[in-house]
Structure 1
Amino acid sequence: MRAVVVLSLVFSFAFQGKGQAKEDLSPIIFIYDASGSMWGQLQGKSKMEIAVEVLSSSVNALPDAQKIGLVAYGHRNKSDCKDVEFLVEASQGTKGAITTALQTIKPLGMTPLAYSATQVIEQLRTSKTKATIILLTDGIESCDGDICRVVAEAKEEGIDFRMHIIGFGLKADETEQLKCAANAGEGQYYDASDAGALGTVLSEATSETVDKPKGNVSVYAVKNGVPIDALVTAYDQVAKREPISVRTYRDTAFFYLPPSKYNLEAKPLEGSDVNMITVSGVQSFDEKIIHQDLGFDGGKVRLTTTNNGANWDCLVKVLDQSGKVAATFRTYDAPKEAEVNPGIYKVTIQAMRIEGVNTYAEIDSVQIGGAAVTPLAYEFDSGTAFIDAQVNGGSIDAVVTVSEVKSGKNVAGGRTYDRGKEFLLNPGTYSVKIAPVGVHKDKSAQTITIEVKKGESTSKTLNF
């Protein structure tokens, strides 16, 4: 199931400046994992140390007007599934109070995700306050709770909150219930594998508060059927607003675009070799959600090269519009495919073994679409010419030079080595010079003209 996510990478805190009254901003309440597993090591530090440092830094970066609360679980009793404590009340929370409280927490107990969420939601129910809840956990539920059900039921009841969940060092198969809960809470599930990633996702989570409009445009990035992480930036083509961005995290991502027409630019973030893609003319509305799939699927070109109707070995290059080589391959006497980014290309083909003035070809303006195969074919023509030099009825060694008459271009050459020499040539008229070497090098060279026809063989013997 695709988790619904609400995320903008544009950290628009300008409206939350120091002069703004606290009552204008809904609280952010952090639920902090203080279970025993937080003593686990990452990058030479315990996860507890990393989390305290990064969370403290993220809290200090929040606007001065932001109300902040802190709830911890698992820090007082080793086996208590109800060990949840409100360390800093959001109504009076300050940055200093949060950072001080974080320093006092020592991981010890269980991971009651559902119960801790229930306690925070109950406080919102009682106070009739809306809030952003950010849950940081390094483990899955250990107390038989169902956090997804807890969050979904609270939303059905009408309690106003947005819930983001950060999985710190979790495995892929441990995230399903957390993604479900973030989805139900109209928030985002984030993976954080180290300190850097934790800082990044905390910045993003704290910027996507319950005070922001719900997403009205969803995007999903995929390559060859597999979702990928991509940064999607929307450019307003009408009102020319500042660009608005969202990160997909290998899932469906929602962001709010004020009603207008946008161009979307999507850039892969996973070391992929595919290029940025652009989708034009995306219209957003306040009253409905618009979805846009972003396909990074490579397109394939399938090339069949033949000579006189038979499959032929050729060296092939696929060049993008800037002239950069996107793919290169040899056909080796069989049709071959190459995958490239969707776009318009030039394909160059160099026939192997054939000699003449028509051994190279270019096919321009080849449109290659994503997740599609574009078939191409090119046919070369050739005939054979056998050249032999003899003295007294016996073959001798000689140097042979072949030039195309019309262009005057030297196209082939070789030695007969006392047995004659065969050339595979494009159809045409050729000037052939034969110069004896070795014991017969004193004999004068001879030049003849030959006609090579498609699919036919011609043979010439010169007597010296």
Structure 2
Amino acid sequence: MSRSWPRLALVARFSPLLPVRAMRCVTTCLLLLLFVGASSAQDKATQPPLTRMLFVMDASNSMNAFWGNQPKINTARELLLNALKELEGQPDLELALRLYGHQTPIQPGKQDCDDTKLEVPFSTNSIPAMKSTLQSVRCLGTTPIARSLERSAADFPPTAPKDPRKVRNVIILITDGIEACDEDPCAVSRALQAKGITLKPFVIGVGLDESQKYGLQCVGNYFDASTPELFEHVLKVVVTQALNTTTAQISLMTTDGRPEETDVPVTLYDQRTGKVIQHLMHTMNDRGIPDTLHIDPIHTYKVVAHTVPSSVRHDVVVKPGVHTVIAVDAGTGTLSIKSGSGPSDGVLVQAIVRRSGEGTTLIAQDVGSSQRLRTGTYDLEVLTLPRLLIPDVRIEQGKTTEIAVPRSGVLNVQPSAAGPTAIFSKKDGALTWVADIDPNALRSQVRLLPGTYEVIYRSRSARRTELTLKKEVTIESGRSVTINF
């Protein structure tokens, strides 16, 4: 390549057309590169997620007990092998198998709580090894569920840096007993979810009694398999939920029950961990109905529509393969705060908006703007001098409530000497403090609502109370008044 560049420069001296051709060639190459890059980025954005499914299976001594007409381990092994057969060739899926209670025989007064092992690590071709392991396993020991869950965190390999796919790490725990090593599997499960290592685990209880079920329900999504026939059904349901996303639409409902609110940010959180699952702008599709979303049925959701105040729905559960309509009460109207008549002075004034009777600030809204609010009654505090309180402002569905705030006027205070100065509003013979003025200033300017005021002043050098000076002044919108002391 180094030899071709001098030749190109030499020919260019005798052929003025060559630079034009060269530029065309370069431009074409750049366009091709941009097209390929854009196509690659689009392909990455549309790739389905990678699901990693870790089966954590009980191989403790209790799995030798009969369940129906054969030992539990035989039934569980048989049905799990059938499920694996259906997963062969599934794209974007990696499987792994961890067993516990299968290495050390249980003895009276003695148990091995470290008896848990990742027997088959994750890969896209792990099913043959899983089948071989399941067919040869012997059920010997105790039930260290918490330690098995804790060590499963390291079973999930890190995502490859160049792999753009979203990764879903799923644990499916199959057990016929509760924790036997005085540890807390529920706390371990919560920690795994809070750290984002795994999604909420699936737990299949094999022939458990009521007291045992309660001890496992806090670990994850609990499914009770009280009979071998029910275990087969539950296993299919769990695998389907672990694999699939489903569709839903979020209907933001008006006060009269119509799904017509939109253009609102919406956040879907995992109800248990608080993790953000999706964050989107609510949209109506071409048919004028809420747009369809693809969401993961593995979560229990908290749905927050960011109206003012927020519209929240808790404990939202979606079923795999079933379109779910998530209705959220979110009726709104509009609050329009306008300035009264008179010339504008260009000064920004805000109004604090609160629910009536509540102290929490919802928003500081600019005077001269409009804001959608949930239907209901609000109190406004306009940050003028003096404060303007407007109680019981009613916001109705689909309507605009207009509030006019009088324009302020300007009071100029010019004392002959520095000294303490204060402004009071004067109404019906009563004086109400409005503001203090900087005692060191010889010229001050204060914006006040229209009304009658009294300004009180004493020179700093004056040493007698009777030397206090008072002046009454009337303020009009958009006008300036000066008083001198």
TM interval, shorter chain, is 0.3 to 0.5
Scaled by the length of structure 1, what TM-score is found? 0.41
Larger helix fraction of residues: 2
Larger relative contact order (CA 8 Å, sep ≥ 6): 1
